Amino acid sequence: MIVSGSRSQSLAAALARELEQPLAAVEYDRFPDGELLASVPGFSASGADRAVIVASTVSSDAHLEVLQLQDAVREAGAEEVVTVLPYMGYGRQDEAFEAGQPVSSRAVARAISTGVDRVLTVNPHEKSVCDFFDPVATAVDAAGRLADPLPDDLVDPVFLSPDAGAIDLAETVRDAYGDGTGETDYFEKTRLSGEEVEISPSDTVVEGRDVVVTDDIIATGSTMSEAVAILHERGVDRVFVTCVHPLLTANAFTKLSRAGVEAIYGTDTIEGPASVVSVAPALATALETNY
């Protein structure tokens, strides 16, 4: 039975259809003091012995929901609990970057590990976060699907990443697009603050060409809008932006539109205006694979 967190309802439904499994009725309530109560009222009566919880941990509440749903289905008799974190929140704080900081992704992984038999997540910022979980945790690669919505008529395309860390994603999108022959390249990025980045361009000539820029996450949109601005300064024709996790906080969508992007294509690991590609088929395949 598929059990959905409140922020992943559309993906959970798509996954239930893909796997031909029932979708549990879930209730998300809040006590007068603000505390959450996520429950799965019909689970024990359903006779299901495996619960697959699908919940992107996009907020502190969403983290709490995962812990509660894991506990609720176990309490209701689930023999196996699998948690799918389409987007794993706090995944980018995978080390203590300054003295006194926590390794936040390890802290949340440890908490989730206490109530689950298997974990899946989609394109984490660093695959090594999977090692923070006690049960087997698998990183599912859904980046290839980002090529699906791109137009067929890209002109002499360049598949670019805004920093070296995302070049694998750009290559995956290039390989999945058309005959897989486009050029790939990456910019160098220095993060100045949470909302400010400095991008150093590469030597690739983009004048008159179409460029597809791919990153794992778009959060504030600062990284992407800087990259897009440089491309326009250099005479690019069209710019398409793709990412696995379209977090798009605050004014990110507007920022990118104003920077001159043709379209923003993301997946449904985060449900919002750019979630045009579903990761449900990739998750279904991974869930059906023994580990």
Residues 135-174 that bind ligand R5P (CB under 6 A): 162-163, 165-166
The residue from 189, 209, 238, 245 that is catalytic is 189
222 interacts with ligand R5P by CB under 6 A: yes
What phi and psi, each to the nearest 5 degrees, are found at residue 279?
-90, 5
Helix (DSSP H) and strand (DSSP E) numbers for the chain: 8, 15
220 interacts with ligand R5P by CB under 6 A: yes
Token pair recorded at residue 217: 């996450």
Question: Which of 221, 253, 267, 271 is close enough to bind ligand R5P by CB under 6 A?
Answer: 221
Token pair recorded at residue 101: 């900081």
Question: Which of 197, 231, 244, 256 is close enough to bind ligand R5P by CB under 6 A?
Answer: 197
C-beta neighbour count of 237 within 10 angstroms:
17
Question: Which of 12, 26, 58, 218 is close enough to bind ligand R5P by CB under 6 A?
Answer: 218
Residue 6 vs 222, nearer CB to ligand R5P: 222
Alpha-carbon distances of 285 from 4, 43, 83, 141, 253, rounded to whole Å: 18, 24, 15, 11, 31
Helices 60-75 and 104-113: crossing angle in degrees, nearest 10, is: 20
219 interacts with ligand R5P by CB under 6 A: yes
216 interacts with ligand R5P by CB under 6 A: yes
The footprint of ligand R5P (CB under 6 A) covers: 162-163, 165-166, 197, 215-223
Positions marked catalytic? 189
